[in-house]
Structure 1
Amino acid sequence: MTHRRAVVLMIVVTLLWSTAGVVTRHLEAARSFEITFWRSAFNALALVLALGWMRGPALLGQLRRAPRLVWVSGLCWAVMFTAFMVALTMTKVANVLVTMALGPLLTALFSRLFLHHALPARTWIAIVVASAGIAWMFGHEFGAGGGLLGVLVALGVPLAAAVNWCVLQHVGHGEDESGDMPLAVLIGALISAGLALPLAWPLQASPHDLGLLAGLGVFQLAVPCLLVVRLSRVLAGPELALLGQLEVVLGVLWAWLGAGEDPSSAALLGGAMVLAALAGNEWLAWRAETRPRAPGRAAVSPASSSSNPQSTSRSEA
């Protein structure tokens, strides 16, 4: 898979991810932990069917023998699945999304600290600009509507995501051959559903709610999360996190158009800064890819560059 195709698919992933906020605003009876339970349960069911069809009876044994890194990633997915939906029921969609947008900065820092990956200057600049836009949005939204507890719950998402992107990058670029990372998504869904069920009882979701939550479980979680595991073999962790910030802009837009949660002028300005940072980073990456090489200089293939963590981060971030 080329870098450009991976970027396009990651944008599709963010489009699917961004639908959660607006869909939850149209639920009739399901609330808080029940929303989390049903979404994670439908996610787990879809993953069991998909992975079971591809792997057959061996799936259960693979789950039992899953190595440590798979379980670490699974726990990260569980935190992300659970904290995100609970936070959405406690504060505005914009508050949750702008808090999640701390992810690129945390991912870049974790990649540098724990994986010793160098990042190009353009990616650091893009992260700073995007973070400034998020800070602008956050300051306005938080000052206007409160929701401190919901914001604190939402903080669990970028923290878990930063750890997860680092694990996915470590495994996806061949630095550890033991990871079967699609299993991690299934483990995360099962843990999230199991933890939420006792807190969700008694269940009150209507058939209308179950239909919406089933759609979220399959198309907002299972499909894009499996896809992002594949993309982690091509894109560096900080770039995955940076591209994921489109979810912030799209999520606020859908909540505005589909649920009447009007974004403020500060949210619009902050979102424009995020988009500018993303577009600038990808444009500079595209120029670097297409720039003619000096005569006699050998081209480096993606496969060979991935064996070196630092060259991978510089060429792909």
Structure 2
Amino acid sequence: MTHRGAVLTMVGVTLMWSIAGVVTRHLEAARAFEVTFWRSGFNALALLLLLAWLRGPAPLWRTLRGGGRMLWLSGLCWSVMFTAFMVALTLTTVANVLITMALAPLFTALLSRVLLRHALPLRTWGAIVVAGIGIAWMYGQQVSAGDARHLLGTAVALGVPIAAAINWTLLHHHRDDADVDMLPAVLIGATLSALLTLPLSVPFAASAHDIGLLALLGVVQLAIPCLLAVTAARVLSAPEAALLALLEVVFGVLWAWWGANEAPGVAVLGGGLLVIGALAGNELLSLRRPRPA
């Protein structure tokens, strides 16, 4: 894949990722954990077929059996991301969830500082401060309004960027290891998410309409773009990938506004602009650094 192809691929990936909120708003009867179960189940089925086609059934099975601790840790991270994201969407607004998820690059930077001893430049510390102000503005409004449901939703959504930060740190640490195939980790994550939420989904309430929409999310919104994102990450630098991934927030809020009449409030818009501006500024400044010889 060329660099330009990787950039265009990530734009397409964010478009596919961004439809989750607006599609969820058109469900009829499915509840929080049942929504997660069906989406993760269809995701796991699609990934199993795609990876068996890409890798072959026997090599895929060997990877799952002998992939080692790192593969399964990454799979656990994907499972937390898949589960927390959908549960949060049933508790709070699309904008709250997506802006909270956008904190993943900053959490990744902090985790890299602690675990990999990567020095953080001044611009990243500044972005952390500005983004923190934006998040405090958003959540402070919810606290003052006494809306426990939205607060719970945003707290659950925090699990996504935390798990993503751990996952990207693992992928970055092993990206030069040709013997480690991390694509099956997405399949492991989807399977674990479906298994964990199955007991909490009974008795099922989803209609045929709901199952059709959740199948769309599992395949088009999750399975295909996740595989494409992992592939594009091998070509793009970390700042480029993080910057392009922010498009999901923009696209997702616009989809929910247009397709579900879910207009974000003043605090969400103001705090969200601070968060996105801090992240975008940090990544753009990173791209302007001279490359080492």
Which TM-score band applies after superposition, normalised by the shorter structure?
0.7 to 0.9
Mapped to 1, the partners of 2:106 and 2:284 lie a distance apart of 20
Mapped to 2, the partners of 1:149 and 1:168 lie a distance apart of 30
Aligned residue identity for 2:64: L
Give TM-score, length-normalised by structure 2. Answer: 0.87
Mapped to 1, the partners of 2:96 and 2:144 lie a distance apart of 10
- Name the SS of the counterpart of 2:205 in structure 1: coil
User: Which one is further off, 43-52 or 117-126?
Assistant: 117-126
CA 1:125–1:82: 2 relative to 1, 3 Å: same
In the TM superposition, residue 194 of structure 1 has moved relative to its aligned partner by 0.9
Post-superposition Cα deviations, 1:174-198, rounded to whole Å, max 9, x if no partner, equal 1x44421100000000111111111
User: Which one is further off, 151-160 or 73-82?
Assistant: 151-160
**1:152 matched residue in structure 2:** 155
Mapped to 1, the partners of 2:44 and 2:265 lie a distance apart of 36
Q: For 1:210-221, what aligned pairs fall within 5 Å after superposition?
A: 210-221=211-222
Aligned residue identity for 2:174: V
Structure 1 vs Structure 2: percent identity of aligned residues? 65
Q: For 1:1-317, what aligned pairs fall within 5 Å after superposition?
A: 6-58=6-58, 59-141=60-142, 143-144=144-145, 145-147=147-149, 148-172=151-175, 174=176, 176-235=177-236, 240-241=241-242, 243-288=244-289, 300=293
- Name the SS of the counterpart of 1:181 in structure 2: coil
In the TM superposition, residue 20 of structure 1 has moved relative to its aligned partner by 1.1
User: Which one is further off, 32-41 or 52-61?
Assistant: 52-61
Aligned residue identity for 1:26: H
Please list every run of 5 or more consecutive structure 2 residues that lacks an aligned counterpart in the other structure.
Answer: none
Aligned residue identity for 1:185: V
Please list every run of 5 or more consecutive structure 1 residues that lacks an aligned counterpart in the other structure.
Answer: 294-298, 301-317
In the TM superposition, residue 119 of structure 1 has moved relative to its aligned partner by 4.3
- Name the SS of the counterpart of 2:136 in structure 1: helix
Mapped to 2, the partners of 1:146 and 1:182 lie a distance apart of 37
- Name the SS of the counterpart of 1:118 in structure 2: coil
RMSD (CA atoms): 2.6
| Contact 2:242 2:283 (8 Å CA) reproduced | no
| Contact 2:239 2:287 (8 Å CA) reproduced | no
| Contact 1:107 1:238 (8 Å CA) reproduced | no
- Name the SS of the counterpart of 1:266 in structure 2: helix
In the TM superposition, residue 254 of structure 1 has moved relative to its aligned partner by 2.0
Post-superposition Cα deviations, 1:25-55, rounded to whole Å, max 9, x if no partner, equal 1001211111101111111111111111122
CA 1:216–1:142: 2 relative to 1, 3 Å: farther
Aligned residue identity for 1:146: A
Aligned residue identity for 1:68: R
| Contact 1:95 1:142 (8 Å CA) reproduced | no
| Contact 2:240 2:283 (8 Å CA) reproduced | no
| Paired positions, count | 290
| Contact 2:46 2:219 (8 Å CA) reproduced | yes
In the TM superposition, residue 143 of structure 1 has moved relative to its aligned partner by 3.9
Post-superposition Cα deviations, 1:216-241, rounded to whole Å, max 9, x if no partner, equal 11121112211221233344556645
CA 1:55–1:229: 2 relative to 1, 3 Å: same
Higher RCO (C-alpha 8 Å, min separation 6): 2
Give TM-score, length-normalised by structure 1. Answer: 0.81
